[in-house]
Amino acid sequence: MTVVTWQQAEDTLTAAFEYLGAMRDAERAFLAAGSRTAWPEILRETRAGDYADVEAMPSPRLTRQCANLVEVMLTGDRPLANVIAEGHRALVGRVIVMQRWPGPDGFGWDLVWSRMGGELYNLARRQILPATSEAMRKAYSRAIGKVAVAMEAKGVTQR
């Protein structure tokens, strides 16, 4: 049995989140096609000196291993992320995004607190309760700890 550390669980969950974002979405092109005209983009590129669409880079090809990690961690029948309390999933997702792509202010639990509106969902009481930034940090830490235990039990490790 492989021991999965808290940091490995966080890194694996972050990687699965990134892979999920990089996966091709077949409906996205269909929905975006009629959403707006391409003319402003062409004008902007004309001012830059060419007509190339520099922002429309193809998404990186994902390996089967990456897709399997996304399925095991996030999208399968019984994803390991389901061990995270339902009320804390939004917190975990927000923290992963904020840590991976910090804005101009960087990452801090006070910023997490303000973006979450200073509230957490309490599953036991089935209500939204005010929370401190320290309570959010502890809830996140416990959630990642649960993911580590689930990964260890299922034998999942990031490669």
The model's pLDDT over 35-68, given as tens digits with 9 standing for 90+, comes to 555 555 555 454 455 555 445 555 556 778 888 8
- The pLDDT value given to residue 59: 53
Can you give the residue range of the structural domain that contains 119? 6-23+61-154
Q: Considering the domain boundaries, does residue 1 fall inside one?
A: no
The segment with the largest mean pLDDT, out of 87-96, 117-126, 127-136, is 87-96
In-domain check, residue 32: no
Structural domain contains residue 48: no
What mean pLDDT is reported for the chain?
Answer: 76
Determine if residue 118 is left, alpha or beta; phi over 0 gives left, psi from -120 to 50 gives alpha, anything else beta. left
Mean pLDDT value across residues 70-89: 87
Whether 105 maps to a domain, the answer reads yes
C-alpha span between 1 and 153 (Å, rounded): 8
In-domain check, residue 92: yes
Residue 53 within a domain: no
Q: What is the pLDDT of residue 4?
A: 84
Q: Confirm whether 93 is domain-assigned.
A: yes
CB 69 within 8 A of CB 9: no
Is residue 145's pLDDT more than 90? Answer: yes
Q: How many domains does the chain have?
A: 1
Q: From 128, 99, 130, select the one nearest 114 (Cα to Cα).
A: 130
- Res 126: pLDDT: 67
pTM, two decimals, is 0.70
**Is residue 54 domain-resident?**
no
If one compares 68 and 29, the residue with the highest pLDDT of the two is 68
